[in-house]
Structure 1
Amino acid sequence: MTPVWVNHIENGLINPFDRGVAYGDGVFATMRTASTDMTAGVLFLDGHLCRLQQSCERLGIEWCPSDLLIQQLNQLAKQYPQHCIKLLLTRGVGGRGYQAPINTNVTEVVSVHAIPDHYHDWQQSGIALASSPISLGRQPLLAGMKHLNRLEQVLIKSQPLPLTHQDWLVFDCDGNVIESSIANIFVINNNQVFTPAITHAGVSGVMREIMIDTLLCHGIAVMATQLTLSDIKAAEHIFITNSLFGIIDVTAIDDFQFSRWTQTSRFRHVLSVNLSL
């Protein structure tokens, strides 16, 4: 049984009138806990909490992480090394209509999950992406947030992948490359790194922001810009990032092959995101 707490109550229940259930009115984060051979804790916890708070502000949800919540997350990190902790926030219980009540109490849901075993294999071997036939809509008011309205991703994941590919490359409805279905994407050409600008669609992951800062600190130029499939296919190297598997090389997109970046292992070590079995 998945360990779960609702407002700090173990195996607590969510009110059926919660706005997260009714409208997807909320945000969430998936965070990785450190390995047993590292200092116990949630990796990049401050970044996750900061993004959640910023997203809540954008949605008009009053929330900040309490000392009790932070204590719970840190305790779970000690109890469950190299696991995923999911923190989900909703605006709380509301009425039947879209209009949010003036006074609401945020619902906090914390759950613990195993990290998929194949993520370790992906780190070692890289993965291939296939172009998704389903595009993302463009909505600048929601772009970047990891909000609870994930029906686009559900539809994308409902499509059968080619047997030789492990994930989808996702575009917006104007044909711009945005992300993979589960990660942000980086393209390397002429010793410069490019990543899609998350201004109208997609999620700006915590690991994406950390990767950008780390590359800049190591003297590697990074540009957030619009990218097309042609730009991607012209790349020398490609990698993807998320908070659970860290950094993974992309070895192919559709029928185009790419060599693995020689710096991937180095930056996994720098950021302490190597996975062990």
Structure 2
Amino acid sequence: MALVWVNQVAQGTVSPFDRGLAYGDGVFATMRTTAANQPAAVLFIDYHLSRLQQSCLRLGMHWQASDALTSQLLSLATQYPQHCIKLLLTRGEGGRGYQAPTQIQINEIVSVTPIPEHYQQWQQQGIALATSPIALARQPLLAGMKHLNRLEQVLIKSQPLVANTQDWLVCDTDGWVIESSMANIFAIIDGKVVTPAITHAGVSGVMREQFIDALLQDGFKVMVKPMRFDDIKAAEHIVITNSLFGVVDVHTIDQFQFSRWTHTSRFRHVLSVNLPS
């Protein structure tokens, strides 16, 4: 039986008229719980909830995590160590067509799933990327948010991966490098760490923010700027980040090779995102 709660009701249901289902009208967060040998917690929970709140405001939805919801998430972290918790928020029912209702009842949908087993191997061995033939549309009003309109990612993931690659490198329709299909990307060039600006497309992940903060505290120079593929080719090292696998080396993109960064494992330790073998 799937582990799902709707508005904190186990195995609760959502109306077929819910705007999240009808229009993708909502946002979500993907969070990780700590390992069984660590104090039970949802990693970076305050940052995830804050980003959800800010994203809701950008969509004209006023939401703040209740004490009851926060307690539920922390309780799940105790029951399900080393798991993924997904918190999905929809605008609920109502409105005429696309027009949202003036009064809304936000639905909170929580699910728990295991972390994919191969992520631990990715941490140990790194991965290879291939450039996706499908580009992301540029829409600054939605850029950065983890909104429910993920059809671009569905199309990207529907393409058969190139042999011996694990994910796609994704650009936008103007050819700017944005991210992998599931993670943010960083290039280490001449000792500086460069990551694409998420101003017109892509998701600004919580792990991206945490990694940038950790880099700055460690004395690294970090540049957030628009990036072309030439910037990728100029890098000595490439890493990607997301909330489940933390920080992972990329050793190949298309025909280009990159050496593993000597600091990757240390930053996984600093951020407490090592996956136990």
TM bin, normalised by shorter chain, reads over 0.9
TM superposition score normalised by structure 1 = 0.99
Distance, in Å, in 2 between the alignment partners of 1:165 and 1:228 is 21
Kindly provide the CA deviation profile for residues 14-67 of structure 1, in whole angstroms up to 9, marking residues without a partner as x. 011110001000000000000011111100000100000000000001110000
Q: Report how far residue 74 of structure 1 moved.
A: 0.1
Q: Report how far residue 164 of structure 1 moved.
A: 0.8
Q: Report how far residue 96 of structure 1 moved.
A: 4.4
User: Could you tell me which residue of structure 2 aligns to residue 60 of structure 1?
Assistant: 60
Distance, in Å, in 2 between the alignment partners of 1:97 and 1:138 is 24
5+ long unaligned stretches in structure 2: none
User: Alignment RMSD, CA only?
Assistant: 0.6
User: Could you tell me which residue of structure 1 aligns to residue 261 of structure 2?
Assistant: 261
Q: In percent, how many aligned pairs have the same letter?
A: 69
Distance, in Å, in 2 between the alignment partners of 1:271 and 1:63 is 28
5+ long unaligned stretches in structure 1: none
In structure 2, the residue corresponding to 1:251 is in which secondary structure? strand
In structure 1, the residue corresponding to 2:29 is in which secondary structure? strand
Kept after mapping to 2: 8 A contact 1:20/1:90: yes
Distance, in Å, in 1 between the alignment partners of 2:234 and 2:92 is 47
User: Could you tell me which residue of structure 1 aligns to residue 138 of structure 2?
Assistant: 138
User: Could you tell me which residue of structure 2 aligns to residue 115 of structure 1?
Assistant: 115
**Runs (4+) of structure 1 moved beyond 2 Å?**
none
User: Could you tell me which residue of structure 2 aligns to residue 161 of structure 1?
Assistant: 161
Q: 5 Å matches for 1:215-234?
A: 215-234=215-234
Kindly provide the CA deviation profile for residues 159-201 of structure 1, in whole angstroms up to 9, marking residues without a partner as x. 0001210000000000000000000000001110000000000
In structure 2, the residue corresponding to 1:12 is in which secondary structure? coil
Q: 5 Å matches for 1:1-277?
A: 1-277=1-277
Distance, in Å, in 1 between the alignment partners of 2:124 and 2:168 is 19
In structure 1, the residue corresponding to 2:146 is in which secondary structure? coil
Distance, in Å, in 2 between the alignment partners of 1:233 and 1:223 is 17
Distance, in Å, in 2 between the alignment partners of 1:226 and 1:106 is 35
Q: Report how far residue 102 of structure 1 moved.
A: 0.6
AA aligned opposite 1:111: S
In structure 2, the residue corresponding to 1:163 is in which secondary structure? coil
Distance, in Å, in 2 between the alignment partners of 1:86 and 1:94 is 24
In structure 2, the residue corresponding to 1:188 is in which secondary structure? strand
Kept after mapping to 2: 8 A contact 1:17/1:95: no
AA aligned opposite 2:50: C
How many residue pairs get aligned? The number is 277
